[in-house]
Amino acid sequence: MCKDKKIGVISLGCDKNRVDTEKMLAILKRKHTLVANEEEAEIIIINTCAFLENSRKEAILEILRVAELKKQGLEKIIVTGCLPQKFIDEIFYELVEVDGFLGVSDYAKINRVINQVYLGKRVNAVGVISKDCGTKRVLTTTNYAYLKIADGCSNHCTYCLIPKIRGKFRSTPMQNLIAEAKGLGNVKELILVAQDVTRYGEDLLDGSSLITLIQNLSALKNVKKIRLLYCYPENITNELIEEIKTNEKVIKYLDIPLQHADDKVLKLMNRRGTYQSYLSLINKLKQEIPNIAIRSTFITGFPNEDETAFNNLLNFIKEAKLFNVGFFAYSREKDTPADKLDGHIENKVKQNRLKKLYSAQKKVVKERAKSLIGFSIEVLAEGFDEEGFIYYGRAYFNAPDIDGKIYFFSKKKVELGKYYKVKITGFTDYDFYGERL
């Protein structure tokens, strides 16, 4: 039995992957010592993403980088998550530097796999997709925590590998989520995540829904605020809008991944919305919930996105006036329906369209930012920038990692993890500047 090894863990990819990593850390901690410094580690575990070609390249480069540490005394490397789940038949024989592999539902096996690799075996422990590995976690964030309320996806967008990596949509039973949230301690911001949080509960037989989950989490004393990420537009109902509007714990922020706005392209993507339905939803949200911050993501360069389709997307960006937006060039992925479509677009055209989209959104952001000058907003202090000698934090319209920050001066000492009123005095493309009141 292999015990008390020094283990370092690297988590790649999305916030959902981070939750998996945190659950694996809790399992590892039962028998081993967790270390933050790679040079101290005897074992390094890399939890991978494989959603896009770029994420797979990042994972492989990270594996090869860590493999160099074996020359300096690192004993074992174990790779977990999406990359082994989808591509184990290829990487088991190609990445000979790796001692063991586990898939997206295999984290509970991690200590057993460590025992096996120390017996001199190369282990392929990738199993079938099933339930997650419990509710206990070792948090890797401060002030906020993610709560993955479901795994997999059943939307079957034609460009996406997620259903083939993580399986069909599976809601986590509500009692498990409540227990997990309670176990996180005092959380300033609990961020609900899934591939599509609005579908929560549809596969359960107990009447659970996103609304009932929000209400039960809101009743927890250790949860101060709740943020919703990845709400598909078709399932944002009047009832959900009312809950967001009236529930004081719910942050007035929605991440709605629209992906495109041209009707023809949306149909090819197997998305159920249209230009007008998306615009109507956004206008309704703004009307019902004043000052709501709406974030979205869009893909340009999808097969058959001609100039008319792209201009429709560009016009939508100008008309919708979303708070924050992320743009991506379409990534051609084997084993997806979109890969088989005609009309694939050159990378040069994709990059040119990306620039135009960012330019249009930049004007929207500038207009909105000007309107906030002179106003005071509540900011959660999260750190101090030594170089700029200035504090920084997040307002309600800043989700961690994906949105900007609020930088602010303060004559008095600021306690990190507390909220302060900040008067906005300036802005850059993504961030705001201000002074503490």
Task: Assess whether 202 and 350 both reside in one domain.
Answer: yes
Q: What is the mean pLDDT of residues 253-270?
A: 97
Structural domain including 432 reads 373-436
Same-domain check for residues 378 and 365: no
Residue 129 belongs to some domain of the structure: no
Q: Looking at residues 204-213, what average pLDDT do you find? A: 94
Return the CATH number at 21.
Answer: 3.40.50.12160
Domain boundary among 71, 95, 124: 124
pLDDT of residue 429: 84
Domain boundary among 61, 94, 124: 124
Same domain, 210 and 268: yes
Q: pLDDT digit string (tens) for 309-338?
A: 999 999 999 999 999 999 999 999 999 999
Shared-domain flag, residues 345 and 392: no
**What mean pLDDT do residues 422-436 have?**
93
Residue 1 lies in a domain: no
Asked if the structure places residue 194 within a domain, the reply is yes
Nearest by Cα to 404 from 287, 308, 351, 326:
326
Answer whether residue 134 is part of any domain: no
Same domain, 363 and 414: no
Mean pLDDT across 90-100: 94
Q: Are residues 409 and 331 in the same domain?
A: no
| Mean pLDDT score across all residues of the chain | 94
Residue 138: inside a domain, yes or no?
Answer: no
pLDDT at 366: 93
Domain count for the chain: 3
Q: Is the pLDDT of residue 132 over 80?
A: no
Same domain, 55 and 70: yes
Statement to judge: residues 32 and 104 lie in one domain: yes
> What pLDDT shows up at residue 128?
78
- Mean pLDDT (whole number) for 110-136: 87
Which residues are within 8 A (CB) of 260 and not within 5 positions of it... i.e. 6 or more apart? 266, 269, 271, 298, 299, 300, 302, 305, 309, 313
Residue 387 belongs to domain with CATH number = 2.40.50.140
Per-residue confidence (pLDDT) for residue 2, from 0 to 100 = 76
pLDDT over 70 (residue 306): yes
Judge whether 426 lies within some domain: yes
Mean pLDDT of 105-123: 93
Q: 215 with 333, same domain?
A: yes
Q: What is the 3-state secondary structure (H, E, C) of the chain?
A: CCCCCEEEEEECCCHHHHHHHHHHHHHHCCCCEECCCHHHCCEEEEEECCCCHHHHHHHHHHHHHHHHHHHHCCCEEEEEEHHHHHHHHHHHHHCCCCCEECCCCCHHHHHHHHHHHCCCCCEECCCCCCCCCCCCCCCCCCCEEEEECEECCCCCCCCCCHHHHHCCCEECCHHHHHHHHHCCCCECEEEEECCCHHHCCCCCCCCCCHHHHHHHHHCCCCECCEEECCCCHHHCCHHHHHHHHHCCCEEEEEECCCECCCHHHHHHCCCCCCHHHHHHHHHHHHHHCCCCEEEEEEEECCCCCCHHHHHHHHHHHHHHCCCEEEEEECCCCCCCHHHHCCCCCCHHHHHHHHHHHHHHHHHHHHHHHHHHCCCEEEEEEEEEECCCCEEEEECCCCCCCCCCCEEEECCCCCCCCCEEEEEEEEECCCCEEEEEC
Same domain membership, residue 338 and residue 232: yes
Domain termination site, one of 354, 369, 384: 369
User: Would residue 139 count as lying in a domain?
Assistant: no
Do 166 and 22 lie in one domain? The reply is no
Percent of the chain with pLDDT over 70: 99
Q: Residue 152: its pLDDT value, please?
A: 93
Instruction: Answer yes or no: is 172 within a domain.
Output: yes
For position 295, which CATH number holds? 3.80.30.20
Residue 1's pLDDT is 67
Same domain, 313 and 408: no
Is a pLDDT exceeding 90 seen at residue 430?
no
